[in-house]
Amino acid sequence: MSNRASWDEYFMRIAKEVSTRATCDRKHVGAVIVRDKSILASGYNGSIRGLPHCDEVGHMMVDNHCVRTIHAENNAIIQAARNGVRIDQSTIYVTASPCWNCFKMIANAGIIRIAFAEFYRDERIFEFAEKLGIALQEVQI
């Protein structure tokens, strides 16, 4: 019997490692976009490129949410776009399930599967993932 990690475990562990680069101490989140067992892009939550991070200047709070940061899922999609990488028909591995805004971006980017390590806040994603045919799966690591 092998102790070899499954592909889901492998990519989720990478997403967990990516989260160590996050710069908002309220929650460290990492994301990895994968197709055909190859990593296409990654992202973590952090401030707008070139601007100070939460861990440098503090949080920018609105309705009990820090809005200084761009979420990990968005940063991974942006990284793919900046590098001209097609992510249609891919899977995104995220250490926390996407918020509603990230879910909408994931859906419109053509990502067909969302794997998450922990549920985080927004129940709407389950209903809309089913309506859109997006697979939504918890992956424990």
Specify whether 73 is catalytic: yes
Strand (E) or helix (H) holding 51: none
Give Cβ neighbours of residue 34 (< 8 Å, ≥ 6 apart): 11, 40, 90, 91, 92, 93
* CA proximity to 96, closest of 48, 31, 40: 31
- Rounded distance between C-alpha atoms, residue 52 and residue 74, angstroms: 18
The catalytically annotated residue of 9, 17, 73, 138 is 73
**Residues forming the active site:** 73
